[in-house]
Structure 1
């Protein structure tokens, strides 16, 4: 990872800068899957990466309030100019540390079956891959489900 990238906990106000770039970074409309509520309510478990050029990446994650052993990564993005530098891996590892410190034993995430890059990345990060799970997010909305066990602290 580039040493000039600084990672910090997210703040609710970071939502605006994240939303301003996600459609461009994904090259398709995607902002609807990241409503403001995620950084309003889960900013303490989310991360923002910045460098001299601005927003470098982000991870929106949460500790499940319903499953005390689980954490969930909802959305991760890395600026196209920094892809392949290890920033996404670094954000995940920071989140894993945070989850372990809060007594979580596993982390989950999902993606669409068409997102081959995400599937490859999560596999390389040690996640198990299940799916596609039919109708996971409603009729006709299949998902790939990822899960990774965390080492005991």
Structure 2
């Protein structure tokens, strides 16, 4: 596989992400990523694409508008063909640079307790893992939270 290039996202990238995200996850997940995230946070989100313009991965993240020292990674996807290549790490490291550029000192994220791959990945990336947190987003939504200080 060609090493994907990283670039800032644009609102127009939403359709390409929407076309593959459920397939990449193997279940309906698109409702967790409404278009508004790329409409409003594209400048701090990233797209990984091959030389042929094929989507290899993406990261949707933003500096918190309420917690001045924090940034949040909302959604990350890596094509099944690109998994195990370090692309997820590259996306996170690039976002850490964006967060630092906005004066942020902490990056946070969340996932479902059943997403063991995500939990292991975040641990490898130096995040502390907290939870599970019952009713995190209301009844029946137990989640795991992640936090990493930027140094």
Same fold (TM over 0.5): yes
| Cα deviation 1:75-119 (Å, max 9, x = unaligned) | 000000010000000000000011011110000000000000000
Q: Which residue of 1 aligns with 2:101?
A: 101
More deviation in 136-145 or 3-12?
Answer: 3-12
> 1:3-152 maps to which residues of 2 (within 5 A)?
4-51=3-50, 52=52, 54-151=54-151
Q: Distance in 2 between matches of 1:138 and 1:43?
A: 28
SS in 2 for 1:140: coil
How many residues end up aligned between the 2 structures?
A: 150
Shift of residue 3, structure 1, vs aligned partner:
5.9
Q: Distance in 1 between matches of 2:2 and 2:149?
A: 28
Shift of residue 4, structure 1, vs aligned partner:
3.1
Shift of residue 53, structure 1, vs aligned partner:
6.1
Unaligned runs of 5+ in 1: none
Displaced runs of 4 or more, over 2 A: none
Unaligned runs of 5+ in 2: none
Q: Distance in 2 between matches of 1:97 and 1:62?
A: 12
